[in-house]
Structure 1
Amino acid sequence: MINILYIHGFNSSPQSMKAELSRHYFQQHHPEITFYCPQIATSPNAAIDQLDAIIASEPNAKWLLMGSSLGGYFATYLAEKYQLKAVLINPAVKPYELLEDYIGPQINPYTQERYQVKRQHISDLKALEQVKISKNNYLVMVQTGDEVLDYQQAVEKYHQCQLKISQGGDHSFVNYAATLDDTASFFNLTLTLAK
């Protein structure tokens, strides 16, 4: 049994474009795979507890990770903890620095949930940072036009991993659908078409 756990980014949701495109792609080309994309809790520790629980719910499955932006940071933590393969899309490398600008009330534009980014969340994120990276476990895709994150931080952190650097683009990852064959290939998935 193969499961994919897709982890969306900050203030995002399973209804985001990349999550929807990923879900559709795997349903169409790999119907044998179960695709998980939960609405992630708003605090880092609650998010990790939630993701840990999902993985623990099927201990005999082969888990594969996908993470976008802050989800890429969480995916890195989980990939190192469980030694799993992960595809990271415009991953956040130092989200604890970025979130300084978001401390206070927030509204998720997808779910309309109101919540607080607290100073404690900054320390919690810092505690999840992975310094040692298992180089064979990652495919990292970045676009140089990312207006939210400095793509060079990801290039530096994951320099020993498989890296795909696209010129231009933006944080949403322009032409994302075209990358999904690369994701499936990295995961060593054999192409099957749903009838």
Structure 2
Amino acid sequence: MKIFSTIIIITVVFALMKYLGESTKKHAAVVSEGTIILKMNQAYGVIGYIGIVCSAVIGVIASLGTVKSVQDLIIVIGLVLSFLALSMPLVLISKKMKIEVDEEKIKHFGITGKIKTIYWNEIKTVKFSKTALELSLITDKIKVKLHMHLIGFNDMVNIMKAKIDYSLYRDALIEIESVNNRINKGF
């Protein structure tokens, strides 16, 4: 039974990562001439809502008399808070975060409502993290991180290629291409 459940979990995670990786290839929404909007894949929100439902189910089951001791109560509260702490950011990322990219600048709208604006001509460093799947665009004062699962990520990379010097993004592009190749080959 353990092997069967492990195989199911690995298959679900693999399929989800493949699906999320494919969102990189989708085109971003175009709002006006030369301006594109990147938003996180909606699967993040779905996973977040599932986590919130799990949290609620744990709370309801606990309130039906299954909690017999203070230790049980602490475990239940810990589980509920853990599910909420992991799920809420996913919902907020899918609902509130967006990035506007145009010929002049990148505007990052965070989950807290904070807006960061970075101009192409001010970018000093470009990095890509394979573990976080984030492209970091860094100026002297501002750092903007763009996750690879943003719908239209490749569109943004193509604009970046046209707007900044190759020497700034060469290493990041190599890393992005290696991740894309791994996704295309099925990990």
TM-score by length of 2: 0.25
Determine which structure has the larger helix proportion and give its number: 2
**Structure with larger Rg:** 2
